[in-house]
Amino acid sequence: MSKIIVLANQKGGIGKSSCTRELGIYLSSLGKQVCLVDTDPQANLTKSLIDNSSSGLFEALTGKEWVFEQINDKLNILPGSISCAGLERSLVAEIDCYTRIKDLLCDKSFEKFDYILIDSPPSLSVMTINALTASDYLLIPMKPSQYCMQGTNDLISTVSKVKKTLNPELKIAGVIINEFERNPVIVREITKEIEEAFGNCVFSTRISKAIAFEEVISTKQGIIERKNRSSEEIRLIGDELISRIENGLSYAV
Ligand SMILES: Nc1ncnc2c1ncn2[C@@H]1O[C@H](COP(=O)(O)OP(=O)(O)OP(=O)(O)O)[C@@H](O)[C@H]1O
Ligand SMILES: [Mg+2]
């Protein structure tokens, strides 16, 4: 059975797509079959990994022909596109609007994957709720900033509603602190606030702020292909994720 993991946080620019890409590349480097699903109409995850795609999530959700784009023999992506913005608007009128991605992932073509990682848009939109409904686990990337901290209640309340109605099996696999910096006092203070609020839900490794995250976007490579602190941090987060899932750990927030 594939493990389906959504990375979600309605705050923009806090590392959802970067963490999805890096964890996907890392898990595939361990020999796991991984599929990335880009539900964000911005398609940043897609653009950071491939140049062009002939089809993607939009086609898959609208009954058209589609194929996975192969990044390597272990890593595939179901690309996102701007067309998903229009699709979100039209889906709202449909009775099954929140289960479209869940239904899609039941297709036999997804059976071969050990992990399916879903990137979501910076909103609590139809696509995000679809992604939460389709997933076994939620990973919440957070940046130690006031705005990110303030938005958490909305995310948690949406997750609670999804658990009560659409997906009672959804488990919280953890909170990842991204763009951590040791020096600014305010960053340390907000990091402490996040750790106090989420307790042992927070991954023990933090991802440091590093320019490498920006650099790898244009190279279409992963940070783990470099030898630096960021690649080590991603490996540790990936290992902790596997161990949390294998040990059946999940967190109430
Ligand atoms: N640890 C980091 N250090 C430095 N820059 C980072 C780090 N993580 C992500 N970034 C950069 O921050 C920007 C936003 O990251 P990313 O696109 O992953 O966030 P996002 O949450 O997916 O954004 P959106 O909400 O728009 O989808 C990108 O330019 C990325 O390169
Ligand atoms: Mg993104």
Categorize the per-residue pLDDT at 222 as very low, low, confident or very high, splitting at 50, 70 and 90: very high
Q: What's at 25, amino acid-wise? A: I
Q: What is the pLDDT, as a whole number, of residue 251?
A: 86
Per-residue pLDDT of 87-110, as tens digits, reads: 999 999 999 999 999 999 999 999
**Domain edges within the chain:** 3-246
Q: What's the mean pLDDT in 72-98?
A: 95
What is the percent of the chain where pLDDT is above 90? 94
CA of 125 to the centre of ligand 2 (A): 14
Q: What is the pLDDT, as a whole number, of residue 135?
A: 98
Pocket flag, ligand 1, residue 209 (CB < 6 Å): yes
Q: What's the mean pLDDT in 49-66?
A: 96
Per-residue pLDDT of 117-151, as tens digits, reads: 999 999 999 999 999 999 999 999 999 999 999 88
Give the residue among 132, 102, 113, 107 at the shortest CA–CA distance from 24.
113
Q: What is the pLDDT, as a whole number, of residue 230?
A: 97
User: Residue 173, exposed/middle/buried by CB under 10 A (0-12, 13-18, 19+)?
Assistant: buried
Strand partners, 27: none
CA of 143 to the centre of ligand 1 (A): 10
Strand partners, 38: 119
Q: What is the pLDDT, as a whole number, of residue 46?
A: 98
Q: What fold does the segment set 3-246 form as a domain? A: Rossmann fold (3.40.50)
Closest approach atom of ligand 1 to CA 214:
31
What is the percent of the chain where pLDDT is above 70? 100
**Which ligand has an atom closest to residue 145 CA?**
1
Categorize the per-residue pLDDT at 252 as very low, low, confident or very high, splitting at 50, 70 and 90: confident
Give the residue among 74, 5, 14 at the shortest CA–CA distance from 44.
14
CA of 6 to the centre of ligand 1 (A): 16
**Which ligand has an atom closest to residue 123 CA?**
1
Categorize the per-residue pLDDT at 153 as very low, low, confident or very high, splitting at 50, 70 and 90: confident
Answering whether pTM is above 0.95, one says yes
Residue 24 in tokens? 């996907």
Strand order in the sheet with 75-78: 69-72, 75-78, 34-38, 115-119, 3-7, 137-142, 171-177
CA of 179 to the centre of ligand 1 (A): 9
Pocket flag, ligand 1, residue 39 (CB < 6 Å): no
Under a CB-based contact definition with an 8 Å cutoff, are residues 12 and 140 in contact? no
Residues with CB under 5 A from ligand 2 (ion): 16-17, 44
